[in-house]
Amino acid sequence: MQIRNPPLKNNILQISKINKTAGRLVLIFCLSVSFCQVSLATHKVYILHGYAGTMMQMDKIYKGLKHEGYVAENYTYPCFTKVIDSIGHDLYLKVKRENYDTVSFVTHSMGALVVRSMYNYIDATYHFPFIFRFVMLAPPNKGTEIADFFSNPALDLILGPNIALMRTDPDSYAYKLPIPTCEVGLIVGIKGKQPWFNPFIKDDNDGTVSIKRAILGNEKEIVTVKSMHILMPLRKKVVTLINRFMKTGSFIKASFN
């Protein structure tokens, strides 16, 4: 019996086809790994109420972000018993421990000062999640006249230790906190034609914080809404603005022609 070897040309063609198939498989594998790495990146939004605030006050914001698909937490803290710096340190430890790839923050009033105080503990030599975006609602970044009025050692037992930290004095705690290095969106309240604004605050205000006292100077965008300070987190318009900034980095609704 005579055994014939396959022609050399056919062998080469078969080997070539195998190499092409293997190459495609390797390419598909590499793309799959790359896609998995991107899709596995994690992000969380921390929501903080203000002085004398509650989780319930921020619930609409929390539900709005959850509806948009964000991992979010309605974070609460003892604003009457702990100083801002201590609360900020607790937040720092929590964010570091949870170890998401990126994090964002939405705060109302004094909550912004808590996040800013957290920056004091972030050390570039140690891993800490990348801070992506930060939306502040009516923050007393440069204090508030209300704190000036109520800042009295005799009232500390009732009002807690943080009122004195929000004075408008340029040497006050609020003034000296670090400036966030991420994208910052600022939502501030104005009186409009409503009768509830505080006449003791000279500039336009929401009854507690004026526009002048809220602005840091590094904001990407600033938007005003007609709202009382305490009711701002409950406004549907505010929830929409927060979702928009978290998604696009802008309060302005994108239009496509």
Residue 193 has pLDDT above 90, yes or no: no
Compute the CA torsion angle 146, 86, 131, 128 (nearest 10 deg): 170
Decide: 205 and 198 in contact? Cβ < 8 Å.
yes
Considering only the top CATH level, what class is 42-248?
alpha beta
Nearest to 209 by CA among 84, 62, 81, 111: 111
Q: Which of 26-40, 195-209, 220-234 has the highest mean pLDDT?
A: 220-234
Gap between the Cα atoms of 159 and 143, Å rounded = 16
Q: Are strands 102-108 and 130-137 parallel, antiparallel or unpaired?
A: parallel
pLDDT beyond 70 at 140: yes
Residue 183 has pLDDT above 80, yes or no: yes
Structure tokens at 76: 């609460």
| pLDDT (tens digit per residue) in 141-159 | 999 999 999 988 878 888 9
The whole-number average pLDDT for the span 156-181 is: 93
Q: How far is CA 109 from the centre of its chain?
A: 14
- pLDDT at site 41: 83
Q: Tell me what the pLDDT averaged over the chain comes to.
A: 86
Residue 4: pLDDT over 70: no
